Amino acid sequence: MRTVLVLAAVVALALAGPAPTFHKDISQINVENVDATIVEHQYKVLELLDHVNQVNTEATYYKVGKAYDIQAHVDKYEKPEVVSNFYSFYENGMVPKYYQFTIFNDNMREQAKALYDMFYYAKDFETFYKTACWARVHVNEGLFLYTFYVAVVQRADTTGVVLPAPYEIYPQFYASLETINKIYYGKIRGEPFEEYPEYGIMKEGNNHFYYQNYSDYYTYGDEYKISYLTEDIGWNAHYSYFHTVMPFWEDGDKVAHGIFKERRGEVFYYFYQQLLARYYMERLSNGMSEIPTFSWYQPFKQGYCPFLTSQITPFAQRSNNYVMQNKYSFEDLRFVRSYEDMFLSFLEQGQFTAYNKQIDFSNSKAINFVGNYWQCNPDLYEKISQRRNYYNSYEMAARRILGGAPMNFKYDEYEFVPTALDFYQTSLRDPAFYQIYNKIFHFMSQYKQYLPSYSQDDLHYVGVKVNKVEVSKLETYFDFYVYNASNAVYYQNQELISGSDKQYAIMQPRLNCNPFHITINVKSDVEEQATFKVFIGPKYDSYDNEISFEDNYMNFVELDWFSQKLSKGENVIVRKSDDFFFYKDDSISVGDIYNLLAKNQLPTDMMYNYGHLPERLMLPRGTKSGFPLQVFVAVYKSQGVPKEVAETMFFMDEKPLGYPLDRPVTKYFLQPNMYIEDVSVYHRGNEYPTSYDVVHPYVKPVSHPQ
């Protein structure tokens, strides 16, 4: 007898509305009532993003886009010159339809910036919508999708409008070539649909389900052990969202309404520190080494075979011991080395003086310059010109060098062989990504060595002592998740017009954790508002040596950040993992969004916290005997922030991000208002999600004769 997966409870997730709902009961998620204006805007945005690779000639956006004349409505844009600038590109030829778009291509990026400026400077939502309809019909699909997605996030009048999850809009970037081919075959073949439950191909009503697991040794080598993280749709969407909120090519005063301008570089540093720390813990839980380092002068050891495809071309593969030195990469190699050396020379001098700027590296606010330097964004040289420094971007040069694509494969200026590093949606899948940004992070960390460590007076909260911290049982497991992949296939025109009742979904195991809570016992001699920070980090390194706190502070991930009124005497504060500041629930499907819209509601997390990491990923996978970690809690006096900053829900005070672990620590670091508690993370079920022979919430075992 052998056990196979057969669809069971997925039936309960059946069709409702214009798209299937593949999620837990929406009654279990936090929702917000919205007014008629948001509802109207939401319907329009969802229609524009439906089957983005095709044009529905009967859709409202098509009729509006065909009728709208942008040049005849120049007065509808705050800066009329953005229209003439865009048409200078459009009339001379832009990236054609059905070509793959990447923001890392110089020509495509300039075209995207020109189109985005029209979206951004539209005086009202109606003008923005009509411009988007025109672009949806007339320009490259990827170009439209990227610029429209960013514009919805950045415009003030679209605040609260929900964007579908990236993996539902472009499933090709989140599903393997094998799975996409199976879906294509099922769509093209038509009825009767061939079910193969033993291979994870099933049907229930008009919903077609395809099982997909994670890549194996042939894709990653030993790195396959953590492919359940690096290929996780929520992990990759988190990274994509960050660059939607903080596009590297835009001026800081127009990113998030200018809120981040003075801290843009700091946000860049903090984001990658947190990303790398979370990745490092996952490596440790799987018995893997430290994040590898590499030299630009030596072969790159880690190969990668992504088995992904764009609309046109399969992704390039990078061989093991990849030789970076070739005639196509010499210029990029010279640039990255000189860029590194230039930064080190700034550090040796202790300051940067050029381009009408003077940066003192002993000042903690210099982190903004350091982050801008490594992101190569326009704010770096803003005081001298409109120079777009990303033409000489360290990030892009490194991605080109290590992507592994043949650079001589070009029929025209827009043709290229895609790599995982060419797209934000796929970058986190490639082990080279973590090595590139680990290198960048270590350069930025060298700046931190120039800052004085916090003194005891800086850290001590007079009259406040953390007596005890208790953490409930921490347990991880793999469960099943189903997401809508219908946008991966092409529909006939009549199917688009009438609305096809056939939908295609991918079932995939994913890392999850049980809810838990942290109890903090605080004795206070003062009665005032206090801020609490909760971090989690490793206790031992990859050699099973205990890591001293002085060498470990940069490896902690921030779990929670909240404010609490302290009363005199004993205070017992209980925080549930569901309420942690930096995490959200998984995005719900488009079908669920339509269902909520019918009741004038939208999911709260997708409205405001879309860029946060899914709460199921807050813990690294545990082990049967318990993976040892440390929870660090710090309490300090609350500080207020300007109202416009508080409304971003990103900053709770004006302390540096990651405080008090944002600087090197000394052996005198720990104060009475801090506490370290040893914890263990346990794992139940299979150690790796690589077998069908597991009973999951969505499936049941069925016996078949041999």
pLDDT of residue 493: 84
Residue 500: per-residue pLDDT = 72
Tokens of 366: 């210099």
Residues 413 and 545 in one domain: no
How far apart CA 501 and CA 523 sit, in angstroms, is 61
> Residue 122 corresponds to which tokens in the numbers above?
């539209």
Structure tokens at 670: 């720990």
**C-beta neighbour count of 638 within 10 angstroms:** 18
Residue with structure tokens 């800052």?
Answer: 451
Alpha helices in 478-553 (DSSP H): 493-498
H or E element: which one contains 337? helix 330-349
Whether residue 653 contacts residue 641, with contact meaning beta carbons closer than 8 Å, is answered with yes
CA 644 to chain centre: 24
Please indicate, yes or no, whether residues 419 and 468 belong to a single structural domain of this protein.
Answer: no
Q: Do 540 and 673 reside in the same domain of the chain?
A: yes
Residues facing residue 523 across a β-bridge: 465, 570
> Are residues 373 and 266 located together in one domain of the fold?
yes
pLDDT of the residue at 268:
97
Neighbours of 281 (CB within 10 A): 23
Residue 261 in any domain: the answer is: yes
Residue 4: its pLDDT value, please?
36
With contact defined as beta carbons under 8 Å apart, do 572 and 316 qualify? no
Say what the pLDDT of residue 384 is: 54
List C-alpha distances in Å: 404 to 298, 303, 322, 433: 15, 9, 8, 12
Give CA–CA dist 183/492, Å, rounded. Answer: 15
| SS3 (DSSP) at 419 | coil
Question: pTM value?
Answer: 0.93
CATH number of the domain to which 105 belongs: 1.20.1370.10
Q: Are 306 and 409 found together in one domain?
A: yes
* Residue 639 pLDDT: 81
The whole-number pLDDT of residue 391 equals 60
Domain check: are 461 and 436 in the same one? no
Q: How many domains does the chain have?
A: 3
Judge whether 487 lies within some domain: no
Same-domain pairing of 153 and 223: no
How far is it, in rounded angstroms, from Cα 65 to Cα 44?
Answer: 13
Question: Do 429 and 463 have their domain in common?
Answer: no
Q: Confirm whether 602 is domain-assigned.
A: no
For residue 313, the model assigns a pLDDT of: 84
The answer to whether residues 466 and 558 belong to one domain is yes
> How many other CB atoms are found less than 10 A from the CB of residue 604?
16
User: What range does the domain containing 281 cover?
Assistant: 217-448
In a domain, 559, yes or no: yes
- Domain co-membership, 272 together with 314: yes
Is residue 1 in some structural domain?
no
Handedness of CA 34, 37, 38, 42 (dihedral sign): positive
Q: Domain containing 349 — which CATH number?
A: 1.10.1280.10
Do 444 and 460 belong to one domain?
Answer: no
Q: What is the mean pLDDT of each run of 10 residues along the chain (706 residues)?
A: 33 35 67 96 96 93 97 97 97 94 95 98 98 98 97 96 96 93 88 82 89 87 93 97 95 87 94 98 96 96 92 88 92 95 93 82 92 92 57 90 83 88 97 98 94 94 98 95 91 82 89 97 96 97 95 97 96 96 93 94 94 96 97 92 57 90 94 98 89 41 31
Contact 19, 590 (CB under 8 A): yes
